[in-house]
């Protein structure tokens, strides 16, 4: 049975990876107080990493991610690998260079500890970002893993999520050379089988684009998937978009609905002025990523998907929220 565009829009809006982001807003209401008075905090909630000003030519970037408990249960080694992967991407998405990480690890079994550690070690070698400290709870009745990271970014090269402009092109960059990971049908694994030099070059693409001032906004594609991640960027930028799903790069033999909900391993949603679009596409290509123009930013509040014939609204930010952090970045 053919899935209609409206059915797809409804499915994306109700996707668990999107709905889980709603828990952010009430926490931000507690922690956001007083940040506006801090001149050294240049960006905070809603961005992939906080931006902290300090002396010198660079700003500090800070981010943290926790691993979904389901993944810890199904594949502890892959969970450890992903804990590093997602943090490195958060720094890259801001145009930054990852520096180092610390972790907090709660473990109930020795075997789980060994598998998680092995996965983290492989990712550390892959991305050349060390774990330099942290904390372990060796006797908890559950398994949990959280990692925090710091990075640096040139002061004039920060890529924000909140700065997309009406008329900008929307581009999706991704590595299509991979597989659906056997432990999770929502994970596209394009990094674990590649040499470190390749993935480090891919990660560097965002830093090159930031320092070249070719982007107006950007995010790494995370658990909400391609459409959900674009929705978070739009929510923070207080904009809308028309997204042509027929233009989205997709691995061979993969279903589009499935792909739009996947964590793509190495993927970025970015926006650029139309005059810079071709250079952005070429830059991603030079760094080993496929990139296509997939839409345009609008000056309304709606994220609309189209297949060239029909249209359907996924989010209307006059009434819908993903994180609820519009304009807080």
Residue 125 sits in the same domain as residue 226: no
Asked, for residue 28, whether it belongs to a domain, the answer is no
Asked, for residue 324, whether it belongs to a domain, the answer is no
Residue 200 sits in the same domain as residue 293: yes
Residue 12 sits in the same domain as residue 141: no
Q: What is the pLDDT of residue 329?
A: 42
Q: What is the pLDDT of residue 63?
A: 96
Asked, for residue 141, whether it belongs to a domain, the answer is yes
Residue 13 sits in the same domain as residue 117: no
Nearest to 58 by CA among 105, 19, 80, 91: 91
Asked, for residue 326, whether it belongs to a domain, the answer is no
Q: What is the pLDDT of residue 72?
A: 85
Asked, for residue 34, whether it belongs to a domain, the answer is no
The CATH number given to whatever domain includes residue 173 is 3.90.650.10
Residue finishing a domain among 109, 136, 154: 154
Residue 253 sits in the same domain as residue 170: yes
Residue 108 sits in the same domain as residue 191: no
Residue 308 sits in the same domain as residue 198: yes
Residue finishing a domain among 134, 154, 174: 154
Residue 164 sits in the same domain as residue 266: yes
How far apart CA 312 and CA 242 sit, in angstroms, is 10
Q: What is the pLDDT of residue 305?
A: 97
Q: How many CB atoms lie within 10 A of CB 144?
A: 16
Residue 171 sits in the same domain as residue 145: no
Residue 66 sits in the same domain as residue 166: no
Residue 192 sits in the same domain as residue 113: no
Q: What is the pLDDT of residue 132?
A: 97
Per-residue pLDDT of the chain (329 residues; tens, 9 = 90+): 567 999 999 899 888 877 877 766 667 666 666 666 677 888 778 899 999 998 789 999 999 998 878 888 889 999 999 999 999 999 999 999 999 999 999 988 889 999 999 999 999 999 999 999 999 998 899 899 999 999 999 999 999 999 999 999 999 999 999 999 998 889 999 999 999 999 999 999 999 999 999 999 999 999 899 999 999 999 999 999 999 999 999 999 899 999 999 999 999 999 999 999 999 999 999 999 999 999 999 999 999 999 988 999 999 999 888 777 775 44
133: left (phi over 0), alpha (psi -120 to 50) or beta: left
Q: How many domains in the chain?
A: 2
Residue 303 sits in the same domain as residue 214: yes
Asked, for residue 171, whether it belongs to a domain, the answer is yes
Q: What is the pLDDT of residue 216?
A: 98
Paired strand residues for 101: 131, 149
Residue finishing a domain among 125, 154, 183: 154
Asked, for residue 267, whether it belongs to a domain, the answer is yes
Asked, for residue 29, whether it belongs to a domain, the answer is no
Structural domain boundaries, residue 106 = 40-154
């Amino acid at each position: 049975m053919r899935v209609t565009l409206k059915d797809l829009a409804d499915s994306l809006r109700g996707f668990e990876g999107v709905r889980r982001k709603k828990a952010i807003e009430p926490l931000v209401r507690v922690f956001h107080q007083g940040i506006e008075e801090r001149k050294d905090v240049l960006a905070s909630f809603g961005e992939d990493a906080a931006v902290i000003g300090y002396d010198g030519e660079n700003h500090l970037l800070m981010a943290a991610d926790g691993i979904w408990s389901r993944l810890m249960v199904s594949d502890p080694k892959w969970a450890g690998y992903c804990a590093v992967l997602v943090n490195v991407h958060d720094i890259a998405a801001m145009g930054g260079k990852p520096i180092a990480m610390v972790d907090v690890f709660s473990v109930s079994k020795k075997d789980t500890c060994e598998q998680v550690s092995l996965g983290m070690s492989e990712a550390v070698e892959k991305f050349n970002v060390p774990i330099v400290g942290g904390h372990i709870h060796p006797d908890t009745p559950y398994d949990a893993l959280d990692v925090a990271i710091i990075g640096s970014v040139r002061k004039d090269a920060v890529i924000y999520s909140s700065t997309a402009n009406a008329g900008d092109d929307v581009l999706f960059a991704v590595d299509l050379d991979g597989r659906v990971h056997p432990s999770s049908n929502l994970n596209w694994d394009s990094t674990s089988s590649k040499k470190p030099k390749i993935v480090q070059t891919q990660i560097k693409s965002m830093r090159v684009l930031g320092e070249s001032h070719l982007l107006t906004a950007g995010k790494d594609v995370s658990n909400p998937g391609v459409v959900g991640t674009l929705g978070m960027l739009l929510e923070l930028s207080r904009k809308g978009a028309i997204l042509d799903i027929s233009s989205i790069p997709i691995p061979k033999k993969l279903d589009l609905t499935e792909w739009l909900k996947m964590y793509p391993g190495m993927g970025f949603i970015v926006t650029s002025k139309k005059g810079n679009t071709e250079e952005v596409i070429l830059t991603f290509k030079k760094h080993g990523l496929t990139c296509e123009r997939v839409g345009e930013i609008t000056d309304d509040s709606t994220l609309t998907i189209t297949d060239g014939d029909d249209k359907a609204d996924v989010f209307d930010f006059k009434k819908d929220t993903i994180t609820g952090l519009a304009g807080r970045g």
